[in-house]
Amino acid sequence: MTTHSFTPKHYFSTLGTHDFVLRVADGDTIVTTTLDAGGFDADRQRVHTGVNPMTGPFFVEGAEPGDTLAVRLDILRPNRRFGWSGVQLASNVMDPADVALLPPPPGFAEGSGEWDIDIEASTATLVLPKTKLGRLSLPMRPMVGCFGVAPPGGEAISTATSAAHGGNMDYKGFEAGVTVFFPVAVSGALFFIGDGHALQGCGEVCGTGIEISFDVQFTVSVLKKTICWPRAETETHILTIGNARPLDQALQHATSEMARWLQSEYGLDWVGAHTLMGQCVEYEIANVFDPAYTVACKMSRALLARIQGES
Amino acid sequence: MTTHSFTPKHYFSTLGTHDFVLRVADGDTIVTTTLDAGGFDADRQRVHTGVNPMTGPFFVEGAEPGDTLAVRLDILRPNRRFGWSGVQLASNVMDPADVALLPPPPGFAEGSGEWDIDIEASTATLVLPKTKLGRLSLPMRPMVGCFGVAPPGGEAISTATSAAHGGNMDYKGFEAGVTVFFPVAVSGALFFIGDGHALQGCGEVCGTGIEISFDVQFTVSVLKKTICWPRAETETHILTIGNARPLDQALQHATSEMARWLQSEYGLDWVGAHTLMGQCVEYEIANVFDPAYTVACKMSRALLARIQGES
Amino acid sequence: MTTHSFTPKHYFSTLGTHDFVLRVADGDTIVTTTLDAGGFDADRQRVHTGVNPMTGPFFVEGAEPGDTLAVRLDILRPNRRFGWSGVQLASNVMDPADVALLPPPPGFAEGSGEWDIDIEASTATLVLPKTKLGRLSLPMRPMVGCFGVAPPGGEAISTATSAAHGGNMDYKGFEAGVTVFFPVAVSGALFFIGDGHALQGCGEVCGTGIEISFDVQFTVSVLKKTICWPRAETETHILTIGNARPLDQALQHATSEMARWLQSEYGLDWVGAHTLMGQCVEYEIANVFDPAYTVACKMSRALLARIQGES
Amino acid sequence: MTTHSFTPKHYFSTLGTHDFVLRVADGDTIVTTTLDAGGFDADRQRVHTGVNPMTGPFFVEGAEPGDTLAVRLDILRPNRRFGWSGVQLASNVMDPADVALLPPPPGFAEGSGEWDIDIEASTATLVLPKTKLGRLSLPMRPMVGCFGVAPPGGEAISTATSAAHGGNMDYKGFEAGVTVFFPVAVSGALFFIGDGHALQGCGEVCGTGIEISFDVQFTVSVLKKTICWPRAETETHILTIGNARPLDQALQHATSEMARWLQSEYGLDWVGAHTLMGQCVEYEIANVFDPAYTVACKMSRALLARIQGES
């Protein structure tokens, strides 16, 4: 159970079978940093020009295709004061007829929002643009926007989007303390991480969270079981992720994966799993901005514990 | 501010410009009952054969096209012990390839779930089918599945579906204590209500909640303002409703309506409204079963109060 | 086989169980007129203010719920020189990001296109707006945009949209010589017709065809069989119609209906029907503008005749 | 204008920036072969196990990012007698409720269709399964299912799907005589081709065409202009391609690209381009099976020639 401190020297804008930057053992912990979505580091220097630059990939010993990689997000901490965001609802989240009524979307250079991040106070305070919100201060909820493993079949998939391997899911539920599970497609899994947000609403409807560079720590382990889509465990819920367009299809993926999980690991028959989901399932809309949308399907751990205790 | 006690003698399976059953004043309260989604009453007698029979319509004096009807849901209380539900995920919420792997969907007659509703204990306990869930007991969360006003243009819209006038939205957030706002399209608004659920998960993914007949009490009032989609206020949030397929379009309707609301009543300019939504908006997937899907777009009232206090 | 000449005195903007205007026998022919989509008649007088005013409904003797109404479109002929159209791609048919780059959509009053209809020459010539198209002259292809029967369940559905009963399908394939089949939901079927176009592209992407009033003649007959969605026979094809959003769902409805038709009336087993569709089916996108989109699924009659001859 | 005869030694199941297999000049012609979608060659030997193996990539001198690669499909000719196909409508093209009513989909090994390809007679004759279609013989229409160029940003995209770079579009319109245009993203364009079909219906609704290995000949040239999506010229039409889910979004991409093309190369102002499309555009549904669906947006070349002659 070694803890590795890793300083990235280059970044990737695809998740693929790239040369790994560090080889770690099952159970190890990695301490490293991530750039923001635009490639800017803790000093606001732009060190990578591609979208959502990834730190990694990390080779995890023992991970083979068909396994599951568990990644516990130990620490997600902004490492500078400056955060930025979109300030206009994306054209695909409004009624199409409303889009024509707005001014053209401002470019990120002059039009984007700026936020002051106070790490001690754990707040994000709006600096620009000047609106009737004034210097609105919001509690920080750091989360990771884009992470995952190398996809199968030799694909190298842009960090702008997501699929079964993870990627740019932009789900505000991916915060510190959560363990995320990815389906391993290549030897070593090849784990990537980046695109930290100090805060983000559901749907990422302005196209960004509050984008910022991070200090991160996470712990990896290998499970000898097979999953189809990313899964996670939070303090209160188990959840499954579907990535696709339209939202309907993302929801189908997440729902099918939850039905499988309840049957394979929680001892339910299919009619029990379905009946339970009918009255107790929860969904979150993670993002409706990226090329693939993301839906999380959730079940209460307390409820599942009670069911297992009773059966 | 009269309280009317109304006993329904017939029901409707469309929301339309039907003859009203009771004329009430702005501010009045109505105490009445609703059938379950299959037309069964408090004695499990089937008294209407159409889907989601509606009690009403109620004519509200002073409500004219272009106004808004506010309906506060005062009491939603199951009035019998027997609830029923679907027990299989609907074919449109699973991955299509998974649908073929399941047995044919059981008919409601022999295959549906039965629940014992204990109103004192406020629980719903699974009776049938026999699954590994056993006699799972869940806390009740009574909600109204289908309600709304007469639509414009002389339409009479089935209670199986929903649109801007409300209808079969099947949103678990429509529970007692919530005030719901509907766009008035005809004189008197013509309010309908029915389809109570003792409990329902997000998405109504098995095609039903725990379906049951209700005793209900609600209070109506007329607002001289115009809205485009249903809105609501809960103890903690304001929210807007979009009804459409696919989910993407339902979300667009709800998002556009929220942006309008924040600008018209919360003093925000558009860039402020959008920036705020980008980092703070929440969504709930109400149903993904009915012909029109339903999405709720939510903003925290505490946050809005703070913004208004500061500006 | 009587031919009825009918002069409409009022119109409907919903398809519903309205009082019929004429009762005809199975096999009868009706000669009448239709207003344009805006309610303007052959003299450009506005005689109805609702959208897509319908002539009818016509009660067809012998038509009962579960039957099929066949309507042969004998004559569809513009009856004035003036046609009008939208001149901007609808906001929902372009990339959302492109919508913001266009000027706001012109209102129909000042911004819409005008066309000169020469019935003898069978041409439509662009008059306004003044564009680099000049006075572009196009061959006329008269078609009916909105027609169908009363829906089931007491619904009255706006002529802006469509469903299993027909309605505003805006399919350019509905031209003279075609026989269209509708599922009968009420006694007498209650057939409605209106919304003639002198010409329309696939998708109705500017929101209209070349809108114009019509002289029409059609012949109705009752078939003692049950269908789920509108069907049609042209000189060259049989076709099925799906009406829904998104296009994916409209296509599913039309595809399932074609698979049923091939099995029930063309003697194919399911694997034969599916195999044939896999290599020979054709689709047309009828409209992507109305609240429900419309897809036509087509099979060659010559091919089917050959298969039946061989088997 | 050299003609190169190239014998492939290995294949790719992604379109990416792989080492090129042949370097050719602008204007050169290439004669080569392609495997079928399952990796089987002209002798029915399986020589590659990935999906839709690609021959190539071919480096085209002078092609730089921002340019357009034109590929004229000179010859597409099946080179063996054995073709195979799916025989069941895909689960995503039927009504979800119908999917559960069918037997589980047969695996390709025992359940797929077999066709006898007679190249002299230019026919495909059904051999298996035994259905009421008997030995149905259909005219061959050879087309290429998957081809395109390396995508930007270092992506390597599976040949199962498609995007702006082309890929698995499965459009029956891509037959001999057609010139297809791709947006160049890397130096040399890196052109790939494979996945020949002897015949395919619209939508590829059974998940395949009649899959077969090909002898192919094509001619490449570089255009110093920029396009956003694949385009093509047939004998009768110009057309643009959109690849996405749902169909609605694929249609939006293709429609926006056509509007751009009409303005940039056919001398139309936007209102002229839109007005023309409103009454004259055509669409084809290419595939509704692959992860990204494909829509073709078409305009008549004769009509465009007339407009240009007149203006």
D217 and D145, same domain (yes or no): yes
Interface test with C, best of D125, D204, D251, D279 (most C CBs within 10 A): D279
Q: Report whether D24 contacts D191 (CB < 8 A).
A: no
CB contact under 8 A, B104 and D100: yes
What are the chain C neighbours of A88 within 8 Å (beta carbons)? none
B261 and B222, same domain (yes or no): no
**With a CB-CB cutoff of 8 Å, which residues 170-199 of chain B face chain C?**
none
Tell me the per-residue pLDDT of C125-142, one tens digit each, with 9 for 90 and over.
999 999 999 999 999 999
Could you tell me if A265 lies within 8 Å of chain B, comparing CB atoms?
no
What is the reported pLDDT for B110? 42
B160 and B274, same domain (yes or no): no
pLDDT higher than 60, residue C257 = yes
Residue D231 lies in a domain: no
CB contact under 8 A, C283 and D203: yes
D148 and D219, same domain (yes or no): yes
What is the reported pLDDT for A188? 98
- C-alpha separations of A169 from A50, A52, A54, C205, D265 in Å: 17, 12, 14, 33, 39
Domain boundary among D182, D197, D223: D223
Q: In this predicted structure, which of B61-70, C94-103, C190-199 has the lowest mean pLDDT?
A: C94-103
Closest-CA distance, D295 to chain B, in angstroms, reads: 19
Q: What is the mean pLDDT of residues B12-33?
A: 98
Tell me the per-residue pLDDT of A111-145, one tens digit each, with 9 for 90 and over.
589 999 999 999 999 999 999 999 999 999 999 99
Tell me the per-residue pLDDT of A159-210, one tens digit each, with 9 for 90 and over.
999 999 999 999 999 999 999 999 999 999 999 999 999 999 999 999 999 9
Tell me how many domains chain A contains: 2
CB contact under 8 A, C91 and A104: no
Name the residue among C126, C285, C310 with its Cβ closest to that of D283: C285
Q: What is the mean pLDDT of residues A17-36?
A: 98
What is the reported pLDDT for C109? 42
**CA A128 from chain center: how many Å?**
26
C237 and C99, same domain (yes or no): no
CB contact under 8 A, A246 and D246: yes
Closest-CA distance, B68 to chain D, in angstroms, reads: 33
A25 and A112, same domain (yes or no): yes
Looking at the DSSP bridge assignments, the partners of residue B128 are B114
Q: Show which subunits contact D, needing at least 3 CB pairs below 8 angstroms.
A: A, B, C
B102 and B245, same domain (yes or no): no
Could you tell me if C134 lies within 8 Å of chain A, comparing CB atoms?
no
Give the model's confidence band at C110: pLDDT under 50 very low, under 70 low, under 90 confident, else very high.
very low
Tell me the per-residue pLDDT of A251-309, one tens digit each, with 9 for 90 and over.
999 999 999 999 999 999 999 999 999 999 999 999 999 999 999 999 999 999 999 98
What is the reported pLDDT for D154? 97
The enclosing domain of D45 has a CATH number of: 2.60.120.580
pLDDT higher than 50, residue B108 = no
Domain boundary among B202, B234, B266: B234
Tell me the per-residue pLDDT of A299-308, one tens digit each, with 9 for 90 and over.
999 999 999 9
Alpha carbon distance B191, B24 (integer Å): 11
Closest-CA distance, A131 to chain C, in angstroms, reads: 22
Give the model's confidence band at C101: pLDDT under 50 very low, under 70 low, under 90 confident, else very high.
confident
| Helix A270-280 × helix A247-265 angle, to 10° | 130
Could you tell me if C206 lies within 8 Å of chain D, comparing CB atoms?
yes
C303 and C209, same domain (yes or no): no
Name the residue among D16, D153, D246 with its Cβ closest to that of A50: D153
Give the model's confidence band at A108: pLDDT under 50 very low, under 70 low, under 90 confident, else very high.
very low
What is the reported pLDDT for D101? 80
Q: Nearest-CA neighbor of D170 among D134, D138, D202?
A: D202
Closest-CA distance, D207 to chain B, in angstroms, reads: 12
Q: What is the mean pLDDT of residues B126-155?
A: 97
Q: Name the average pLDDT for chain A.
A: 95
- C-alpha separations of D219 from B199, D64, D215, D223 in Å: 65, 18, 14, 13
pLDDT higher than 80, residue C238 = yes
Alpha carbon distance C61, C57 (integer Å): 13
What is the reported pLDDT for A111? 53
Q: Report whether B266 contacts B307 (CB < 8 A).
A: yes
Q: What is the mean pLDDT of residues C26-44?
A: 98
Give the model's confidence band at C111: pLDDT under 50 very low, under 70 low, under 90 confident, else very high.
low
Alpha carbon distance C203, C226 (integer Å): 28
Per cent of chain A over pLDDT 70 is 97
Domain boundary among A179, A204, A234: A234
Q: Cis omega (within 30 of 0) on the bond before B53?
A: no
Closest-CA distance, C137 to chain B, in angstroms, reads: 37
Tell me the per-residue pLDDT of C277-303, one tens digit each, with 9 for 90 and over.
999 999 999 999 999 999 999 999 999
The residue that leads in pLDDT, D227 or B109, is D227
What domain range is A297 assigned to?
A: 235-310
CB contact under 8 A, C92 and A96: yes
**With a CB-CB cutoff of 8 Å, which residues 44-83 of chain C face chain A?**
none
D130 and D152, same domain (yes or no): no
Q: Name the average pLDDT for chain C.
A: 95
A20 and A128, same domain (yes or no): yes
Give the model's confidence band at A102: pLDDT under 50 very low, under 70 low, under 90 confident, else very high.
confident
What is the reported pLDDT for B1? 87
A194 and A271, same domain (yes or no): no
What are the chain D neighbours of A13 within 8 Å (beta carbons)? 153-154
A215 and A78, same domain (yes or no): yes
The enclosing domain of B291 has a CATH number of: 3.10.28.20
Give the model's confidence band at B292: pLDDT under 50 very low, under 70 low, under 90 confident, else very high.
very high
Closest-CA distance, A279 to chain B, in angstroms, reads: 4
Q: In this predicted structure, which of C35-49, C107-121, C220-234, D82-96 has the lowest mean pLDDT?
A: C107-121
What is the reported pLDDT for A109? 42
Three-class DSSP category at D234: coil
Residues of chain D with pLDDT under 50: 107-110
Tell me the per-residue pLDDT of B158-192, one tens digit each, with 9 for 90 and over.
999 999 999 999 999 999 999 999 999 999 999 99
Name the residue among C102, C133, C283 with its Cβ closest to that of D276: C133
CB contact under 8 A, A281 and B136: no
Percent helix, strand, coil in chain B, to 5, is 15, 40, 45
**How would DSSP label each residue in D161-200?**
SEETTEEE---TT-BTT-EEEEE--STT--EEEEEEES--
Residue D229 lies in a domain: no
Q: Report whether B298 contacts B238 (CB < 8 A).
A: yes
Closest-CA distance, D103 to chain B, in angstroms, reads: 7
What are the chain D neighbours of C91 within 8 Å (beta carbons)? none
Three-class DSSP category at A92: coil
Q: Report whether A256 contacts A170 (CB < 8 A).
A: no
Could you tell me if D107 lies within 8 Å of chain B, comparing CB atoms?
no
pLDDT higher than 60, residue A21 = yes
Q: Report whether D214 contacts D79 (CB < 8 A).
A: yes
Q: What is the mean pLDDT of residues C206-230?
A: 98
**How would DSSP label each residue in A254-285?**
HHHHHHHHHHHHS---HHHHHHHHHHH-EEEE
Could you tell me if A107 lies within 8 Å of chain C, comparing CB atoms?
no
C48 CB-contact burial (10 Å; exposed 0-12 / middle 13-18 / buried 19+): buried
Give the model's confidence band at C104: pLDDT under 50 very low, under 70 low, under 90 confident, else very high.
low
